[in-house]
Amino acid sequence: MRGPHNIWRLIVTGATLERTGAMGVVLEAMNAPRHLRILARVGAWPFKWLGEKGDPTLPPATRALTALGPAYIKFGQILSTRPDVVGEELAVQLRKLQDDLPPFSTDVAKKLIEEELELPVDQLFSEFSEPVAAASIAQVHRARLADTGEEVAVKVLRPGIERAFQKDIDAFYFAASIIERLSPASRRLRPTDVVEHFEGVVSGELDLRLESSAASEFAANTKEDAGFSVPATFWALSNRRVMTLGWAEGAPLGNNAAIDAAGHDRRVLGERVLQLFLQHALRDGFFHADMHQGNLKVGANGDILCYDFGIMGRIDEYTRRVYAEILFGFIRQDYRRVAEVHFEAGYVPADRDIDEFARALRAVGDPIFGMDASHISMARLLSYLFEVTERFGMQTRTELILLQRTMVVVEGVARSLDDHINIWEVAQPIVEDYIKENIGPKAFLRDLGKTARVLARFGPKLPQMAEAALLSQNAQTEPAKRGFSLRPILWMGLGAALTGAAVFAASAF
């Protein structure tokens, strides 16, 4: 429940931010109004001694959030995907936020599993290890199924984590409401919307059935992808607070020495990581939004193994086409087309000058393409692109920001495997294939087919709809003065014609 009972938690939060030096950093990064900065600093200073010290070796913001606990760590991780809110510099710091917390007792984990699955752990698993990883929300155990002997990873939520998170989320809402009341100018930062976004993400992670579903969907989408593997979901051993997946055995993708020792080609792996991400984003519109080295391994057969599906990204088909055309335009250095795509999609207001926008885009792209391959950065281009579009009045689009952030991470993974990788050469075939399949005559006919299926559902109703329109017109008073409108009937006829044309086109295709 949101209210005054959250004041103490906010006092401790403010004191910790002030004590660790994070208060000024955060307020400056968010461009908070000057009077709000002064008010926050003055209000927190007397309580500074109540704040947590944190780890002095960490940057201020990271130090403060780590000291404040799991909800704040997760909040910082999510804010790292929103440079539009916290600024690029702070977002980079938050991406390094450590999510390595002390594990809770294995006996407690076993008890939670038994409560969720309603069977003794010894009956379910012939082996059950101590925690192999512990994060802000859950920890993971390595186990072996009693009936088949298969190795699995068992993820268990921290005890009481739901209640603890809800208390902190309530405090976040309370703080957001105070900020908005005290400083109307701060509403442009949308503090309440930011908290709502955080609550939505965390709610999904606090129900492991949703993560199991994401893992299952991702596995189904990618089952034909060569050199890529997603662990199987064991639904019978998964529930709201427990999730069981197949064990991913392999060398961590961040351990180049182990990868070399296993005889894998790091250049091939780097190219594959980047191409797979683009395939998932463009082809499926459903991508792993946390594809860092800690969530990727290399199997003995050279396959890239992916796990941890708590943060996934989804973009609709139209946005995928726009994104692909933008990338393709930059690859071909056709800045006029990139500008046109932005205007056609409504990303940039129609009253802006398209030629000026195209010139600004050239200033972004040409210097990057003039660099040595080892310095060509798609992430840098996307970052510059967002700066330019912001100057031309483009509204923030959350789905593109998450895509950009993931692109930065994936590019970093590829560079860590091979620092001479040419990002654009690797991306070009994936983007070109998508363009061929989804933009042009084939895509137009396919879209007509989809339209036909929608309109066909209304086919049986067309006669009644036309008759109702006629009766409505006949019932109008003074028809001579008002005139008889054929518009409804023309729309019915047009709908029928479109249905017929689309069905014909789809059948021909």
What is the spatial distance between Cα 470 and Cα 378, in angstroms, rounded to a whole number? 58
Coil/strand/helix, residue 251: strand
Exactly one of 290, 303, 308, 418 is catalytic; which is it? 290
Q: Which of 253, 245, 259, 249 is nearest to 292 (CA)?
A: 253
Residue 113's identity, in one-letter code, is I
DSSP H helical ranges for 370-422: 378-391, 398-417
Sequence-distant (≥ 6) Cβ neighbours of residue 426 within 8 angstroms: 270, 271, 274, 275, 414
Alpha helices in 345-397 (DSSP H): 354-369, 378-391
Tokens encoding 44: 């927190």
**DSSP-assigned states of every residue in 435-473:** HHHHSSHHHHHHHHHHHHHHHHTTGGGHHHHHHHHHHHH
Instruction: Please check whether residue 37 is in contact with residue 69, taking contact to mean a CB–CB distance below 8 angstroms.
Output: no
Give the separation between CA 266 and CA 253, rounded to whole angstroms: 9
SS3 content of the chain, % helix, strand, coil (to 5): 65, 10, 25
Q: Show Cβ contacts of residue 221 under 8 Å, excluding neighbours closer than 6 positions.
A: 280, 284, 286
Rounded distance, CA 429 to CA 437, Å? 12
Instruction: Please report, as a single letter, which amino acid is at residue 146.
Output: A
Which residues make Cβ contacts (< 8 Å) with residue 193, sequence separation at least 6? none
For the four alpha carbons of 170, 175, 181 and 184, in that order, the dihedral sign comes to: negative
Taking CA atoms, 53 is separated from 27, 64, 67, 228, 265, in Å, by 19, 8, 7, 43, 44
Which amino acid would we find at residue 234? F
Tokens 């393709």 -> residue: 328
Q: Taking CA 73 as the corner, what is the angle to CA 71 and CA 79, rounded to the nearest 5 degrees?
A: 100
* Measured distance CA(253)–CA(247) in Å, rounded: 16
**Is 419 one of the annotated active-site residues of the chain?**
no
Calculate the CA 372 to chain-centre distance. Answer: 30
Q: Which residues are catalytic?
A: 290
